[in-house]
């Protein structure tokens, strides 16, 4: 398995050397909010909405004082706006009450925040706190991991566990970003382009 895993890692690293988080943010709080907005929405659309949102409510203190309806009116283009606005408001209040307005740096603490699951928590740990072993299981990562037989599971928590078991130390965060790029460009959900894929030589192509 390790030679195979290393081949996947090195091919994707060569194909997407600059793969990174595509959400725009200038603080841990803003990344937390942007990640919440990205649920069932494209990062591109989130990045169109957040400049106005963060201009008006740039940090947890200011966001916690905003009305849910005010937040909802701005984030409406991202979809699911009533739920997202409520989560963002409650999360901001929890940050102010429990963490002095800062985003905490452990998985357990992050999971206490309303609407924050392991995917978001791992993203924060990876991007903000530099955890190179953070495994962010989004839809692309889940699909790629299954097609490449790095997991037999479809549940994000189990996929995360399986990836942690096979990935070499310090490789997960970058690989997950590269899975997103590859999933968007080549190994798409509907029609994977195996003919032009850099992994085609050894991928089991479990579609």
Residue numbers 56-95 binding ligand SF4 by CB under 6 A = none
State how far the Cα of 57 lies from the Cα of 50, in Å rounded to an integer.
Answer: 10
Active-site residue flag, 162: no
Cα 130 to Cα 28, 75, 80, 105, 159, distances in angstroms: 12, 28, 30, 10, 21
Q: How far is the CB of 197 from ligand SF4 (least distance, A)?
A: 3
Judged by beta carbon, residue 17 or residue 191, the one nearer ligand SF4 is: 191
Residue of 59, 84, 119, 162 marked active site: 119
Judged by beta carbon, residue 107 or residue 194, the one nearer ligand SF4 is: 194
Among 147, 173, 177, 178, binds ligand SF4 (CB under 6 A): 147
Residue numbers 185-204 binding ligand SF4 by CB under 6 A = 186-187, 192-194, 197, 199-200, 203
| Residue 154 DSSP one-character state | -
9 binds ligand SF4 (CB under 6 A): no
Helices (H), the chain: 2-15, 28-37, 43-56, 60-65, 68-75, 81-99, 107-110, 118-127, 139-147, 156-166, 172-185
Judged by beta carbon, residue 164 or residue 202, the one nearer ligand SF4 is: 202
Q: How far is the CB of 170 from ligand SF4 (least distance, A)?
A: 23
Active-site residue flag, 119: yes
Q: How far is the CB of 185 from ligand SF4 (least distance, A)?
A: 10
State how far the Cα of 35 lies from the Cα of 105, in Å rounded to an integer.
Answer: 16
Residue of 86, 131, 138, 205 marked active site: 138
State how far the Cα of 79 lies from the Cα of 70, in Å rounded to an integer.
Answer: 15
Q: How far is the CB of 18 from ligand SF4 (least distance, A)?
A: 20
Q: Are 94 and 42 in contact (CB under 8 A)?
A: no
State how far the Cα of 12 lies from the Cα of 164, in Å rounded to an integer.
Answer: 18
Coil, helix or strand for 87? helix
Q: Binding residues for ligand SF4, per CB under 6 A? A: 147-148, 186-187, 192-194, 197, 199-200, 203, 205
Query: What are the residue numbers of the active site?
Result: 119, 138
């Amino acid at each position: 398995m390790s030679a195979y895993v290393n081949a996947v890692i090195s091919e994707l690293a060569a194909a997407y050397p600059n793969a990174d988080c595509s959400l725009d943010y200038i603080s841990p709080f803003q990344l937390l909010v942007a990640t919440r907005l990205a649920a069932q929405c494209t990062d591109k659309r989130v990045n169109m909405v957040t400049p106005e949102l963060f201009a008006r409510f740039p940090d947890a203190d200011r966001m916690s004082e905003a009305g849910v309806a005010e937040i909802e009116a701005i984030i409406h283009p991202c979809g699911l706006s009533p739920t997202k606005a409520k989560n963002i408001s409650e999360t901001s209040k929890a940050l102010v009450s429990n963490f002095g307005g800062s985003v905490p740096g452990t998985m357990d603490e992050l999971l206490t925040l309303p609407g924050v699951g392991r995917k978001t928590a791992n993203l924060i740990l990876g991007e903000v706190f530099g955890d190179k072993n953070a495994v962010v299981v989004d839809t692309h990562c889940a699909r790629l991991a299954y097609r490449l037989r790095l997991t037999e599971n479809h549940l994000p928590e189990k996929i995360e566990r399986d990836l942690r078991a096979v990935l070499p130390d310090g490789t997960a965060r970058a690989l997950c970003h590269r899975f997103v790029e590859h999933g968007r460009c080549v190994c798409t959900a509907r029609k994977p382009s195996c003919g032009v894929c850099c992994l085609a030589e050894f991928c089991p192509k479990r579609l």
